Chain A
């Protein structure tokens, strides 16, 4: 158990819909990262928040947005969903703002868009 909690574990929805994925980081960790994992693209960095502020942005689509709340939990919002958005979405957390230390990953949220 990494200490990172993600909900829901599985989600099936239709094209055009909007979903929200939730992540609670490990106790004491200030950074939250979102990654997308698909068979053809591997594990792709989407976005990082540190103590409520956006710190780094990767290959995140404009249809996707995220935020980190004062209690440090984070949400990833995916809108106008397309078939190609079907993937595993991982949240990870770390103590600091930089990525030189260990990332602790949750078990992921599997999104299926039909």
Chain B
């Protein structure tokens, strides 16, 4: 099973600051997904990246897939308290291509 490592594990910032979180693997992934999980809820898909070097934007969130398709990053511009949550990257892994999740980055944006 391919492993996904996320960093940092915890991040606490002030409203208005910018931040980047990372998702790294020693293996190549055909695609990576980013999910956000809020307390008391299940993860919700934010984006899927499939092409090496691909950049996708979702309002203030910018997602990038590494050229070698082994890593991905999520950059948030001018963070807001509503961005608070657990950010998870995930990719297909194993013989049945089941979705394997990273350990997540717990982001807290303080007002």
Interface residues of A (CB under 8 A from B): 2, 4, 33, 35, 42-45, 48, 55-56, 58, 90, 92, 98-100, 102-103, 105-108
Contacts and interface: CB of A to CB of B under 8 A. Distances in A.
B66 interface: no
Contacts of B104: 42-43
B101 interface: yes
Contact of A100 (B41, B92, B94): B92
A102 B48 contact: yes
Given A42-B104, A43-B101, A100-B31, A56 B42 contact: no
Contact of A99 (B40, B42, B97, B102): B97
Nearest to A90: B42
- Interface SS, B side: loop
Nearest to A103: B99
Contacts of A42: 101-104
Interface string B82-111: 000000100010111111111110000000
Q: How large is the interface on B (under 10, 10 to 19, 20 to 34, 35 or more residues)?
A: 20 to 34
Given A44-B101, A56-B94, A100-B30, 16 more contacts: A2-B42, A42-B103, A43-B101, A45-B100, A45-B101, A56-B96, A56-B98, A90-B42, A98-B97, A99-B92, A100-B31, A103-B99, A105-B42, A105-B43, A107-B42, A108-B42
26 contacts: A4-B42, A33-B98, A42-B101, A42-B102, A42-B103, A42-B104, A43-B43, A43-B88, A44-B101, A45-B98, A48-B96, A48-B98, A56-B97, A90-B42, A92-B42, A99-B98, A100-B30, A100-B97, A102-B45, A103-B43, A103-B45, A105-B41, A105-B43, A105-B44, A106-B42, A108-B41
